C-alpha cells in the first residue's frame, strides 16, 4: 500500500490506515516510536541525499555546488514519511503476531509452491529459527562486549577504522557461539526425530474466521483507494 502511493494524498491515506490499525491493536504509541529510533540515521542520510541531489525548476536555496529546490524538498518529505510508516507498520506486525504464528501463516500461503518442489516448510523453519535466535544473539553480544570492556577494551572512542578493529574480538567469539548453538539445535532436532514437513501436525491449527475476512476486505479497500487517489490527485 505504501509503495503503491505516488502522491501525498495517497500516502496520507496509507498513513491514515496505519493510524487506524495502531488504534485497533491497542499497542502504546511509545512502543511504536521506540521501534523507529534505530532507523533515524537511515532517514537522515536518505533525506540529505534526496535534498541535495534531486533537481527541479523552483530553486529555494543555492550555495556553492549545493542547490535545494522545491521539488527536492517535496520528494524528501515524501520518502521520509514512507520509510517511517513502513518501519512503524513492520514493528506493529512483530508486536501483535508471534514469530511462530507468522511463519506458520507464511508456510500456508506458500503451500502451492510445493507442487514445483519449493522447500516451503524448510524455508519457514529457517525463518522461525532466525527470528527466535535474534534476541539470544543480541544478549550474547552484550555479554561479550561487557567482558571485553572489563578487560580494558576501548569500543567507543577513535575513528571508524579503530572502532572496526576493536569489534573483531567481539565478532569472533560471537560467531563461535552462534555455530555452537546451531550445532546443539541440529542435534536436538535429530534426537526428536525431525525429518522435515512430511506428515507433521501443529499444536495450534490456524483457522480463518469472519474477522480475518473483514480485515482482508478493509486492506484491499484501502489499497484500491490509494491506487484511485494516485490517478485523481
The predicted-structure confidence for 141-184, as pLDDT tens digits, reads as follows 888 888 888 877 776 776 667 777 777 788 888 888 889 988 99
Q: Looking at residue 188, what is its pLDDT?
A: 92
Mean pLDDT lowest for which of 59-68, 83-92, 109-118, 222-231? Answer: 59-68
- H/E segment holding residue 62: strand 59-63
Asked whether residue 81 falls in the same domain as residue 172, the answer is: no
Asked whether residue 72 falls in the same domain as residue 144, the answer is: no
Asked whether residue 71 falls in the same domain as residue 145, the answer is: no
Asked whether residue 102 falls in the same domain as residue 92, the answer is: no
Asked whether residue 188 falls in the same domain as residue 217, the answer is: no
Of 88, 54, 84, the closest CA to residue 71 belongs to 54
**Residue 158 structural domain:** 98-202
How far is the C-alpha of 133 from the C-alpha of 56, rounded, in Å?
Answer: 47
Average pLDDT, the chain: 83
Q: Are 69 and 53 in contact (CB under 8 A)?
A: no
Asked whether residue 213 falls in the same domain as residue 129, the answer is: no
Average confidence (pLDDT) over 98-114: 83
Instruction: Write the pLDDT tens digit of every residue in 15-33.
Output: 999 999 999 888 888 888 8
Average confidence (pLDDT) over 54-77: 77
Residue 52 has pLDDT above 80, yes or no: no
Q: Looking at residue 222, what is its pLDDT?
A: 92
**Predicted structure pTM score:** 0.67
Which is higher by pLDDT, 50 or 95? 95
Number of domains forming the structure of the chain: 2
Instruction: Write the pLDDT tens digit of every residue in 87-99.
Output: 888 888 888 888 7
Asked whether residue 79 falls in the same domain as residue 30, the answer is: yes
How far is the C-alpha of 200 from the C-alpha of 193, rounded, in Å?
Answer: 11
- 154 contact partners, CB below 8 Å, separation of at least 6: 166
Which is higher by pLDDT, 222 or 39? 222
Asked whether residue 28 falls in the same domain as residue 113, the answer is: no
Asked whether residue 9 falls in the same domain as residue 75, the answer is: yes
Asked whether residue 118 falls in the same domain as residue 198, the answer is: yes
Asked whether residue 197 falls in the same domain as residue 211, the answer is: no
Asked whether residue 141 falls in the same domain as residue 197, the answer is: yes
Amino acid at each position: 500500500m505504501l509503495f503503491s502511493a505516488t502522491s501525498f494524498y495517497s500516502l496520507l491515506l496509507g498513513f491514515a490506515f496505519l493510524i487506524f490499525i495502531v488504534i485497533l491493536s491497542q499497542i502504546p504509541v511509545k512502543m511504536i516510536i521506540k521501534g523507529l529510533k534505530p532507523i533515524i540515521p537511515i532517514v537522515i542520510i536518505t533525506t540529505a541525499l534526496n535534498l541535495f541531489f534531486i533537481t527541479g525548476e523552483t530553486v529555494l536555496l543555492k550555495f556553492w555546488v549545493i542547490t535545494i529546490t522545491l521539488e527536492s524538498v517535496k520528494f524528501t518529505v515524501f520518502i521520509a514519511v514512507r520509510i517511517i510508516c513502513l518501519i512503524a507498520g513492520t514493528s506493529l506486525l512483530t508486536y501483535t503476531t508471534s514469530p511462530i504464528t507468522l511463519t506458520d501463516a507464511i508456510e500456508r500461503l506458500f503451500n502451492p509452491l510445493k507442487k514445483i518442489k519449493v522447500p516451503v516448510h524448510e524455508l519457514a523453519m529457517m525463518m522461525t529459527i532466525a527470528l527466535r535466535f535474534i534476541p539470544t544473539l543480541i544478549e550474547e553480544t552484550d555479554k561479550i562486549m561487557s567482558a571485553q570492556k572489563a578487560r580494558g577494551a576501548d569500543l567507543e572512542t577513535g575513528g571508524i577504522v579503530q572502532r572496526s578493529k576493536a569489534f573483531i574480538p567481539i565478532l569472533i567469539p560471537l560467531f563461535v557461539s552462534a555455530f555452537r548453538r546451531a550445532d546443539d539445535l541440529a542435534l536436538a532436532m535429530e534426537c526428536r526425530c525431525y525429518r522435515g514437513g512430511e506428515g507433521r501436525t501443529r499444536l495450534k491449527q490456524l483457522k480463518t474466521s469472519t474477522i480475518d475476512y473483514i480485515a482482508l476486505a478493509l486492506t484491499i479497500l484501502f489499497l484500491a483507494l490509494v491506487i484511485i487517489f494516485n490517478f485523481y490527485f
